[in-house]
A = this chain, B = another copy of it.
Amino acid sequence: MLSFTMEEYQDRLRKTKQRMEASGIEVLLLTDPANMNYLTGYDGWSFYVHQLVVVIIDEAQPLWIGRSQDANGARHTAWLHHDHIISYPEEYVQSLSKHPMDFVAQFLTEIGQGNRVVGVEMDQYYFTASCYQHLKQHLPLGHLKDATNLVNWVRLIKSDQEIEYMRRAARIVERSMQAGMDAIQIGVRECDVAATIYQTQISGTEEYGGDYPAIVPLLPSGIKTSSPHLTWTDGTYKQGETVILEIAGCYKRYHCPLARTLVVGQPDPHISELSKIVIEGLNETLEATKPGMTCGEVEAVWRKSIARHGLDKESRLGYAMGLNYPPDWGEHTASLRRGDTTVLQENMTFHVIPGMWFDHFGVEISESIRLTKSGCETFAEFPRELVCKQPDIHTAS
């Protein structure tokens, strides 16, 4: 039932402990669901209540601590021995008087870990300000140290099995993108296109099913393409409208994101011109990208390319990605942007997303890539072009 071999989980744990040692952390509390899954295999939609995985530097197995009704879920999905699955009583759930981190602090103290240096993911969605305060207050010495992204950095270089899962996600995103584009037509509702994309993402292929991506289909149309993170409405597509589709395939929590831009009918000259510049810049960037370069150097190739056309892009060109849970498929480690000195290595994986947004329109055409020995390759194979969809005379009439 596990997605990876025990050797792979042990290897991840070993690398995590090396980083803990280097940071002077003896007990690591992981609240990021992706990090929990990465080290133990735990997979459930229970991150809406407080839960964590505890890595103790001199103990062989991590501990899972969560809500009592989710403990069976941990028993079914994680490789941990059942005595390493600890649950807190229901009265701690969304309570005004009891906080789960009080339970955690007391538990760590009882097992003799309360006086050690405890690492916490200070800037992680599910580690709230209250979590921090309650731990600080209830651990005997309150030795808390910032361990934000400690495990995320271990995740940066993917194993062959992880790459295989991302390739499956790529097959799913190719189908989902095609299904979405096929469905868009004058008079069709945006929600029906989103529904078709979802159906394809989750159904997957004949050989393997899809998992839920960490981000819902982003489908801005018309003037709303001026901003990347709007979803859909139940309005219908109009003649001449631009549509951005940013979606991912997901397999066993591993993602392959992909963005394309489509016009229903003939594109406005601004859109075709901008698309050409974006594709040229993306092509030149992918051609140049190889191990040994820094993330900043990759972005410089892009920047130089679009500067020839008098353009500039303030936001980053891309980010590391792979395993994740809502609300983000990005890994929060390396970013393709000025000043990022991360050196590229084989099997790092990025979403290269040269989105350009202006006040009244935008264009996104992206690729998910893997660093190879001597360059990079895309996960998905999907035409890298602005799609101009001819109005269907039957529905448009």
Q: Report if A129-B125 is in contact (Cβ < 8 Å); known contacts: A195-B198, A209-B190.
A: no
Closest to A223 in B: B76
Shortest C-beta distance, A121 to chain B (Å), equals: 8
Select the residue from A68, A94, A226, A335 with max chain B CB neighbours within 10 A: A94
* CB <8 Å contact, B335 and A45: no
Question: 9 additional contacts, CB 8 Å, given A73-B224, A129-B131, A195-B203?
Answer: A45-B215, A45-B216, A70-B227, A76-B223, A90-B315, A93-B315, A93-B316, A122-B129, A195-B200
Interface flag for A208 (CB, 8 Å): yes
* CB <8 Å contact, A123 and B127: no
The residue that A45 contacts in the complex, of B90, B202, B231, with Cβ under 8 A, is B231
For window 314-371 of A, CB contacts with B under 8 Å fall at 314-316, 319, 326-328, 330, 332, 335, 337, 355, 357, 359
Q: How many copies does the complex hold?
A: 2
* CB <8 Å contact, A202 and B194: yes
Select the residue from A126, A146, A203, A212 with max chain B CB neighbours within 10 A: A203
The residue that A231 contacts in the complex, of B120, B212, B218, B223, with Cβ under 8 A, is B212
Shortest C-beta distance, A359 to chain B (Å), equals: 7
The residue that A209 contacts in the complex, of B191, B208, B215, B326, with Cβ under 8 A, is B191
Q: Report if A72-B191 is in contact (Cβ < 8 Å); known contacts: A44-B227, A234-B204.
A: no
Would you list 14 pairs from A and B whose C-beta atoms are within 8 A, ordered by A residue?
A44-B231, A45-B229, A69-B315, A70-B227, A70-B228, A71-B227, A76-B227, A94-B330, A125-B125, A127-B129, A129-B129, A195-B199, A198-B198, A198-B199
Shortest C-beta distance, A366 to chain B (Å), equals: 14
* CB <8 Å contact, B90 and A316: yes
* CB <8 Å contact, B94 and A335: yes
Interface flag for A133 (CB, 8 Å): yes
Contacts of A228 in B (CB 8 A): 69-70, 73
Closest to A68 in B: B314
Interface flag for A113 (CB, 8 Å): no
Interface flag for A47 (CB, 8 Å): yes
Select the residue from A48, A228, A328 with max chain B CB neighbours within 10 A: A48
Closest to A149 in B: B96
Q: In the complex, what distance in Å separates the CA atom of A43 from the CA atom of B77?
A: 34
Contacts of A200 in B (CB 8 A): 195
